[in-house]
A and B are shown apart, each in its own frame.
Chain A
Amino acid sequence: MKRLLIPLAVFLLLVGFLAVGLNRDPREVPSPLIGKAAPPFELPLLSQPDKRFAPGDMRGKVWLLNVWASWCVSCRDEHPVLVDLSKKAVLPILGLNYKDRNDEAQRWLQQFGNPYQLSVVDADGRIGIDYGVYGVPETYLIDGEGVIRYKQIGPLTPAILEQKVLPLAKALKK
């Protein structure tokens, strides 16, 4: 009996490790940017290309930067969640339109609604690289000091908003 116990324990340990490992999403690479200042940029607005926006303009506010594109299928799943959030007006949402075509992006917003206070255009994806974007949609929660506090890789869901993003944003606003 005792002889069986040790292999059994080792086996259970292995099962435990595998269970944890297999339930993790390998696509979620931890971002080294959390706790660091949001990389600066100055990009033209989607709606008015002659005007420009820089993250410094949001100083003193807690806000979401959502990376989206009209070609991105998961963005379509995420979009209603963002529209709902924008109606509640608890948190300004700004869009980074990533490697998209201007006309298609505009049409997309007309069709599905525009939850963004404004969207900036990152046509060649350079700013995306600065933010470590590798799978659209991605969302960053940025505090009043301009520091990235949270990064969501993949679509935001109501559950993630309720459990992670909104409580954190509330705490940061204080």
Chain B
Amino acid sequence: MTRTAGFVFLCLLLAFSVAKAQEGNPQTENRIRQLEEKLRCLVCQNQTLADSNAELAGDLRRQVREQVAAGKTDEQIIDYLVQRYGDFVLYNPPFKATTVLLWVGPFLLLAVGAGVLVVVLRRRRRAPEEAALVPDEKRLVERVLGPAQAGGEAAELRNGEPR
């Protein structure tokens, strides 16, 4: 009885240690995971390398893993992929001449929008509460209602109540 229990225990111990060895150092795993989340899979373009099931993503994950094992720094690994696939592999594209519009564009649009808003509000404040009648309207009012004296009725007419 104790012998069987001992055997089972040894088997379990072996199984755990194998699993542990495959998993590797948790710190390294964490680093690999973080790297893979910064990189885009080029086949299914809106997924990271970590998320993607595409075959190429698998190959690129293997490259990342091998290079981490070879002692490369994160920057070296990212450079390696950028050299081959361009800035597009980065989920966080660098700030440079070709990407200025990408980074500054939204703030530019916000500034333009705010500018337009300010101008419109100012104009509205300056405008009189009620616009005076233009000469053409005045003539029309006089023709319909007779000579001027009926300011109130003219306002009603403009509100769209025909007489």
Q: Taking beta carbons and an 8 Å cutoff, which residues of A are in contact with B?
A: 26-27, 29-33, 99, 124-126, 128-132, 134-135
Contact = CB atoms under 8 A, between A and B. Distances in A.
B60 A32 contact: no
Contacts of A27: 45
Contacts of A128: 59
A107 B55 CA distance: 23
Given A29-B88, A134-B43, A135-B43, A125 B82 contact: no
Max chain A CB contacts within 10 Å: which of B43, B55, B84? Answer: B84
B85 A132 contact: yes
Contact of A134 (B63, B83, B85, B87): B85
The 5 closest A-B pairs by CB, nearest first: A134-B42, A32-B86, A132-B84, A29-B88, A132-B85
A130 B42 contact: no
Band of interface residues on B: 10 to 19
A99 B85 contact: no
Given A29-B88, A32-B84, A131-B84, 9 more contacts: A26-B45, A29-B86, A31-B86, A32-B82, A99-B55, A126-B59, A129-B60, A129-B84, A132-B84
Nearest to A99: B55
Interface string B22-61: 0000000000000000000011010000000001100110
A55 to B, nearest CB: 16
A29 B41 CA distance: 12
Nearest to A132: B84
A105 B63 CA distance: 25
Given A125-B59, A129-B59, A134-B56, A29 B83 contact: no
13 contacts: A26-B45, A29-B86, A31-B86, A32-B82, A32-B84, A32-B86, A33-B84, A128-B59, A129-B63, A131-B84, A132-B85, A134-B42, A135-B42
Interface in B75-115: 82-88
A32 B93 CA distance: 14
Contacts of A131: 84
